[in-house]
Structure 1
Amino acid sequence: MERHSELLKEIQDSPTDVNAIVTRRRKDFTDEFFRYLTLVSETYDGLEDRDGMARLAARCLSAVGAYDKTLEAVENLDAAQAKFDDILNSPSVEVACEKIKSLAKAKELDSSLILLINSAWASAKESTTMRNEVKDIMYRLYKATKSSVKSIAPKEIKLLKYLLNITDPEERFSALATAFSPGNEHEAKDPKALYTTPKELHKWIKIMLDAYLLNKEETDIKEAKKMTQPVVIQRLFILKETIEEEYLAQNSAGTPEKTMDKTESEEL
């Protein structure tokens, strides 16, 4: 309790430095701390004081969320960089390309790594000082990556195409929930139905969006090329947000979070 009180005082003394405080003391922003803020708020008689505490708690929660997302992005980038370094340290280009193919088969050719390889080729292509031999290596790695993504043809891509073709938002999100809930393993399942996990589908949505946003003209991912209609892009972003808020957030926090009605958000 004393630690919570001390942290609250630090925040109240420097309300504009919440982000910096979260960076220094992230481990102290626990569920118990936020429950403590609720208890403190309930001791206030005035609505203005309670409202002020509620705003402070919301500001802290927002800062914690931003910090965690940034940290996750850095960790993902570090992991992708480690894979890329391993590819570059291969004894030959052929071995490097085989590593890319192996990563694809193991479903470890994630969007961060794809972007790293694509960006490396883009930088090499535009460079006026880099030797042609190096450019050739980057180009071959780039082509191997694109070829690997095409050859995977994961069920998640098929599922995405199915979901994006559903025009009714409620029906689409119902189909999404069904894809994540195949039912009891002893029950008879539709052999044509596609099932996956929120994490896997989210990964492939990111890859699709990355491919679309990185290079709409040159991408070899056919599904990304087809996503030229604004409504399709909008649906893809909404699906991504839905999975993050309705499924991934619950799994990481252990408690459900309130989210905007997706039907309403799509109509905006």
Structure 2
Amino acid sequence: MDRHCELLKEIQDSPTDINAIITRRRKDFTDEFFQYLNLVSETCDSLEDRDEVSRLAARCLSAVGTYDKTLEAVENLDSAQAKFDDLLNSPSVDVACEKIKSLAKGKELDSSLVLLINSAWASAKDSTTMKNEVKDIMYRLYKATKSSLKSMAPKEIKLLKHLLNITDPEERFSALATAFSPGNEHEAKDPHALYTTPKELHKWIKIMLDAYTLHKEETDIKEAKKMTQPVVIQRLFILKETIEEEYLDQTMAPRTEDKTELEEL
């Protein structure tokens, strides 16, 4: 309790430095801390004081979410860059292509790495100063990536197509929840249904959106090329945000009832 009180005082003393405080003390912004803020708010005598604490809690929650997502993005990019550097440092292009196949087999060919490889080939292809040997290397890595993507978890692509074809938002949300609920011991309730995890489906949505962003209508990922209609892209973004908010952020955010209390104050 003393630690929560001390953290709250630090924030109140420097309200414009919340981001710096979070960077330095992220581990202290726990569920218990936000519950403590709820308690402080409830014990305030005036509505003005309660409102001030509630708004401060909301700012902290938002800043923590932004910090975590930024950190995750940086870590993903660092990891992808390390993999890309390893590919370039391979003794031969054939070895590099085999590494790409191995990454795909281990489901480590993530969207950030795919984007790096695609971007490298796009830059090399349009370059007037880069040697043809380098262009050939980038092209072969790109082709190996494209080929490997086709072998990776096709059920997520089929599931995405199914979800995107559902026009009713509530029905789509229900189908999404069902896709994440295979039942006990991961036995599918419907043998013809497709099941996956939020993290895995989120990864594939990112791959589709990255491919769309990079090449728009000229994307070489066949599934992404079929999903370039504005309404489909909009639904992809909605699915991505829904998975992030409803399934991937649950461990970070305060409990639902705590958030509800904050919103009601």
Q: Is this a same-fold pair by TM over 0.5?
A: yes
Give 1:247's aligned residue.
Answer: 247
Return the letter of the residue paired with 2:109.
Answer: L
Structure 2 distance, partners of 1:157, 1:179, is 13
Per mean C-alpha deviation after superposition, the further-off stretch among 154-163 and 12-21 is 12-21
- The structure showing larger relative contact order (alpha-carbon pairs under 8 Å, at least 6 residues apart) is 2
Deviation for aligned residue 1:188: 7.3
Deviation at 1:254, TM superposition (A): 8.0
Q: How does 1:190-205 map to 2 (within 5 A)?
A: 190-205=190-205
Conserved in 1, the CA contact under 8 Å of 2:31 and 2:255? no
Query: What is the CA distance between 1:239 and its match in structure 2?
Result: 1.0
Contact 1:205 1:240 in 2 (8 A): yes
Question: Is the contact between residue 42 and residue 50 of structure 1 (CA under 8 Å) also seen in structure 2?
Answer: yes
Answering whether residue 11 of structure 2 is matched by residue 18 of structure 1, we say no
Does the C-alpha gap of structure 1 residues 188 and 142 become closer, same or farther in structure 2, counting only changes over 3 Å? closer
Instruction: Note closer, same or farther for the CA distance 1:40–1:51 as it changes in structure 2 (3 Å cut).
Output: same
Deviation at 1:35, TM superposition (A): 2.2
CA distance in 2, matches of 1:188, 1:79: 33
In structure 2, the CA distance between the partners of 1:12 and 1:256, relative to structure 1 (3 Å rule), is closer
Query: Per-residue CA shift, 1:31-61, capped at 9, x if unaligned?
Result: 2222222222223211011101100111111
Aligned pairs for 1:1-268 (under 5 A) are: 1-152=1-152, 154-185=154-185, 189-251=189-251, 255-256=255-256
1:45 maps to a residue whose letter is D
For 1:6 and 1:152, how far apart are their aligned partners in 2? Answer: 49
Measure how far apart 1:238 and its partner are.
Answer: 1.0
Distance 1:37 1:191, change over 3 A: closer
Q: Is the 8 A contact 1:202 1:240 kept in 2?
A: yes
- Counterpart code for 2:64: V
- Higher mean Cα deviation, 186-195 or 61-70? 186-195
> Residue 90 of structure 2 contacts residue 96 of structure 2 at CA under 8 Å; is this kept in 1?
yes
1:103/1:109 contact within 8 Å kept: yes
- Specify the SS of the correspondent of 2:216: coil
User: What is the CA–CA distance in structure 1 between the aligned matches of 2:39 and 2:252, rounded to whole Å?
Assistant: 25
Distance verdict in 2 for CA 1:85–1:182, change over 3 Å? same
* CA 1:128–1:186: 2 relative to 1, 3 Å: closer
Task: Label 1:129 to 1:188 Cα distance change in 2 as closer, same or farther (>3 A).
Answer: closer
Identity %: 88
- Does the 8 A contact of 1:249 with 1:256 survive in 2? no
- Cα offset, 1:124, TM superposition: 2.4
* Aligned residues: CA RMSD: 2.2
Instruction: Please list every run of 5 or more consecutive structure 2 residues that lacks an aligned counterpart in the other structure.
Output: 261-265
Say if 1:204 and 1:61 are closer, same or farther in 2 by CA, change over 3 A.
same
The 10-residue stretch of structure 1 (203-212 or 226-235) with the greater mean CA deviation from structure 2: 226-235
Looking at structure 2, the residues matched to 182 and 153 of structure 1 have their Cα atoms a distance apart, in angstroms, of 17
Indicate how the Cα distance of structure 1 residues 235 and 131 shifts in structure 2: closer, same or farther if over 3 A, else same: same
Q: Which amino acid aligns with 2:118?
A: N
Tell whether the 8 Å contact from 1:180 to 1:196 is kept in structure 2 after alignment: yes
Equivalent residues, number: 259
The 1:50–1:217 alpha-carbon spacing in structure 2 relative to 1, beyond 3 Å, is same
Moved more, 26-35 or 198-207: 26-35
Segment drifting more, 54-63 vs 180-189: 180-189
* Counterpart residue type for residue 184 of structure 2: N
Distance 1:245 1:161 in 2: 21
Deviations 1:163-210 (A, max 9, x none): 111112222111111111122349774322111111111110110111
Q: Distance in 1 between matches of 2:68 and 2:247?
A: 17
Rounded Cα–Cα distance in structure 1 between residues aligned with 2:51 and 2:105: 53
